[in-house]
Structure 1
Amino acid sequence: MVYAKTKDKEEWKKHVTSMCCVLIASLIMSVNIKSFVRAGNLIPGGFTGLSLLLQRSALEFLGVSLPYSFINIALNAVPAFIGFKMIGKKFTSYSVIMIILNSFLVDLIPVAPITYDPLLVSVFGGILNGIAIVIALYGKASSGGTDFIAVYLSNKLKKPSWNFVFGINVVILMAAGLLFGFEEAMYSIIFQFVSTQIIERFHQRDQRVTLFIVTSKAQLLEQELMSYTHHGVTRLEGQGCYLKENKALLYTVVGADEVKDVVHLVKALDSKVFINTVKSEGITGRFYQEPLE
C-alpha cells in the first residue's frame, strides 16, 4: 500500500514536471518566432519552419492569410500518429499538447522584434529555439515534426541524431531559398545550426559516458550500481602499484545525465574510490535506457 502511494506520488511529480516544461518551452518557442524569426524573415527547420513557409507562400502567391495554428496542427497530425506507434504514448501526448499550445500562442502573441540585424536574429533566435527544445525534451516532450524523427533515431541507434535531422532541415531551407531568396535561407541555416548545437550540447539523454571505478569495495559497489542504474558492470581484479593493495576495476557505461548521481552514490559507499570518466563516442550491444513512457 505504501509502495503504491509512493509510486503514484512519483508519477504525479513526473507529470507536473512534464507539463511545466511543455508550458515553458511552448512560450519560449512562440516568443522566439514572433520576436526573432519574424523580424529576420527566417524559416526555422522542422515542421515549424514548414508551417511558416506555407503560411508565407499562401500570403505571397495566393493572397490568403492562413492561421499558423491550423497549418502546424494539420502538418503534425501524421508524425504524431507515428509517434504514438513508434516512440510512446506519454511522450507523444505531451508533444501534442506542446504543438497545440505553441500553435495558438504564435497566433495570439503580438509581433515584437528585438533587433533586425539578420546575424543577431539568426544566432540568438537559434539559441532560444534550441533552449526551448532542450526544455521540452527534459520534460519528455518535443515540438513535433522532425523532432519525432530525431528522438526515434536516437532511441534506435543509441546515439544523438540531431545533426542528421539538421541535414533534412537544410533541404527544407533550400526550398525556401528558391521561393524567397537564398540570403534569408542561408541565415535560416545558421539559425538551425546554432539550435542543433545547443540541443547536442545540453540534451544529455542520448549521450553515453564510460566509468572506470577503482575500488576496494567492489562487491558492494557492483550490486548497488546495477540496482541503481539498471546497467551492467564488468569487474576486473588487479593490484595498486603504489601501495601493492588488491583492488578491483569496475567498468560500466551510463547515460551522461546519470553521471552526477552515480558518482555521488559511489563516493558515498567508498570515500577512497578513484573514478575515471570518459565520453563514449558510440556503443554496440544491449544498453538500458529509461523508456519515454
Structure 2
Amino acid sequence: MVYAKSKEQKLWKKHLISIICVVIASFIMSCNIKSFVRAGNLLPGGFTGLSLLIQRIALELLGISLPYSIINITLNAIPAYIGFKTIGKKFTGYSILMIVLNSFLVDLIPAMPITSDPLLVSVFGGIFNGLAISIALHGKASSGGTDFIAVYLSDRWNTSSWNFVFGLNTIILMISGILFGWEAALYSIIFQFVSTQIIGQLYQRDQRTTLFIVTADPNSLEKALLTYTHHGITRFEGKGCYKDEPRTLLYTVVSANEVKDVVQFVRTYDPKAFVNITKSIKIDGRFYKEPME
C-alpha cells in the first residue's frame, strides 16, 4: 500500500514537472518570437519558422493576415500523429500542449523589440530559443515539428541528431532567402546554429558517458548497478599496484544525464570506489534508453 502510494506520488511529480517545463518553455519561446525574432525579421527554423514564413508570404504577397496559432497548430498535426505512433503518448501529449500554448501566446503577447542590431538579435534570440527547447525536452516535451524528427532519430540512431535537423532548417531558411532577401535569411541561419549549440550543451539525454569503476567489493555492486541503470556492465579482474591488493574494474556506458545519480549510487555500495568518467564520442551496438513514454 505504501509502495503504491509512493509510486503514485512520483508519477504525479513527473506530471507536474513536465507541465511546469512546458509552460516556462512556451512563455520563453513566445516572448523570444515577439522580441528578438520579429525585431530582426528572422525565421527560427523548424515548423515555428515555417509558420512565420507562411504568415509572411500571405501578408506580403497576398495581403492576407493569418493568425500564427492556426498555421502552427495545422502544420504540427501530422508530426504530432507520427510522434504519437513512434515516440510516446505522454511525450506527444505534452508536446501538443506546448504547441497550442505557444501558438496562442504568440498571438496574445504584444510585440516588444529589445534591440534592432541583427547580430545581437541572431545570437541572443538563438540562445533563448535553444533554452526554451531544452527546458521542454527536460520536461519530456518538444516544440513540435522538426523536434519530433530530432527525438525520433536520436532514439533510433543512439546519437544526437540536432545537427541533422539544423541542416533541414537551413533549407527552409534558404527558401526564405530566395523569397525575401538573403540578409535576414543568413542571420536566421546564425540564430538556428546558436540555438542548436545551446540544445547540444543543455540537453544531455543523447550524449553518452563511459564509467570505469574500480572497486574492492564488486559482487554486490555489479548486480545492484545492473538493476539500477539497465545498462550492460563488463567486469575485469586486476591488482592494485600500490598495495598489491586485488581490484575489480567495472566498465559501463550511461547517458550523460545519468552520471551524477549513478556515481552517487556507486558510493552507497562502495564509498572508496574510484570512478573515472570519460565522454563517449559515439557508440555502436545496443544501448538501453529510457523510453519517452
TM over 0.5: yes
- Whether 1:132 and 2:117 are equivalent positions in the alignment is no
State the match for 1:279 in structure 2. Answer: 279
State the match for 1:258 in structure 2. Answer: 258
Aligned to 1:38, the other structure's residue is in SS state: helix
Between stretches 46-55 and 7-16, larger displacement belongs to 7-16
After TM superposition, the structure 1 = structure 2 runs for residues 26-37 of structure 1, keeping only pairs within 5 Å, are 26-37=26-37
State the match for 1:7 in structure 2. Answer: 7
- How many residue pairs were aligned? 293
Q: What residue identity is the alignment partner of 2:151?
A: V
Unaligned runs of 5+ in 1: none
4+ residue runs over 3 A deviation: none
State the match for 2:219 in structure 1. Answer: 219
The CA deviation at 1:8 is: 1.2
CA distance in 2, matches of 1:277, 1:173: 39
Unaligned runs of 5+ in 2: none
After TM superposition, the structure 1 = structure 2 runs for residues 135-284 of structure 1, keeping only pairs within 5 Å, are 135-284=135-284
CA distance in 1, matches of 2:205, 2:82: 22
> What is the TM-score normalised by the length of structure 1?
0.99
Q: What residue identity is the alignment partner of 1:250?
A: L
| Cα deviation code 1:134-186 (max 9, x no counterpart) | 00000000000000000000000011000000000000000000011000000
| Cα deviation code 1:25-76 (max 9, x no counterpart) | 0000000000000000001110000000000110000000000000000000
Aligned to 1:159, the other structure's residue is in SS state: coil
State the match for 1:104 in structure 2. Answer: 104
Between stretches 281-290 and 165-174, larger displacement belongs to 281-290
CA distance in 2, matches of 1:158, 1:3: 33
What is the root-mean-square deviation in Å for CA atoms of aligned residues?
A: 0.7
The CA deviation at 1:219 is: 0.9
State the match for 1:82 in structure 2. Answer: 82
CA distance in 2, matches of 1:28, 1:198: 14
The CA deviation at 1:233 is: 1.1
The CA deviation at 1:268 is: 2.7
- Whether 1:46 and 2:46 are equivalent positions in the alignment is yes
> What is the TM-score normalised by the length of structure 2?
0.99
The CA deviation at 1:221 is: 1.3
Q: What residue identity is the alignment partner of 2:287?
A: F
